Amino acid sequence: MIIVYCSNAGHTERYARYLASALRLPAYRLSELPDSQYGKDAVFLGWINNGTLSGYLSALSKCNILYAVGVGMSPEHPYSATSLFWENDLESETRTFYIRGGFDIHLLSKKEQKIISPQVVELIDELITKFPQTEEDRMMIRNLRDGFDDFSPDKLSLLIDCLRNEDS
């Protein structure tokens, strides 16, 4: 088993590296996956971009993905993993997880910042004018403006337990 990830601002990479360390498995950035690792069983972690699990299709063409983990900026909800599964047309036997990572526009490349900045401004404006505003709306406004890092090793505990039990 290997860990393969596609990270944009570093949150997904941080989870992938932690997971690899906890399980004593090798971790590879998808773009740097050696040919010798093609076809192996894998845990794939990708950042979520407008509902899309970035890098999933490319990883699927190179590995046998048994577990897919979406790392996004939205709070976890009971239906997060299910939505991720259906919206990305994941393989039926793929176990799917969603964890909250973070967001900081300054961690993105200049090119990504140019693309995403207008979307962030539009979303903030939309949330500011929303009535009534929920606490989740206010939190999202703060997070988009100021950035946030919600990394917590505890968020990987269920996945780690699943993988350890699979080896037993």
CA angle 90, 11, 20 (to 5 degrees): 75
Write out pLDDT tens, residues 107-145.
888 888 898 888 889 999 999 999 899 998 998 899 999
- For residue 2, give Cα distances in angstroms to 9, 11, 40, 44, 76: 22, 19, 7, 9, 25
Kindly state the average pLDDT of the residues 95-102: 94
For residue 113, report the phi and psi dihedrals to the nearest 5 degrees.
Answer: -60, -40
Indicate if 10 and 25 belong to the same structural domain: yes
Indicate if 114 and 62 belong to the same structural domain: no
What's the one-letter identity of residue 140? M
Indicate if 97 and 21 belong to the same structural domain: yes
- For residue 71, give Cα distances in angstroms to 8, 41, 45, 109, 166: 10, 20, 7, 18, 23
Indicate if 38 and 121 belong to the same structural domain: no
Indicate if 78 and 51 belong to the same structural domain: yes
Q: How many domains does the chain have?
A: 2
Bridge partners, residue 44, by sequence: 4, 68
Q: What is the pLDDT of residue 5?
A: 98
- Strands 148-149 and 102-103 turn out to be antiparallel
The runs of H, that is alpha helices, within 6-154 are: 11-23, 56-62, 80-87, 110-129, 135-146
Range of the domain at 112: 105-146
Kindly state the average pLDDT of the residues 36-44: 97
Q: What is the pLDDT of residue 72?
A: 92
Indicate if 137 and 86 belong to the same structural domain: no
Q: What is the pLDDT of residue 115?
A: 86
Rounded Cα–Cα distance for residues 82 and 97 (Å): 8
Give the model's confidence band at 168: pLDDT under 50 very low, under 70 low, under 90 confident, else very high: low
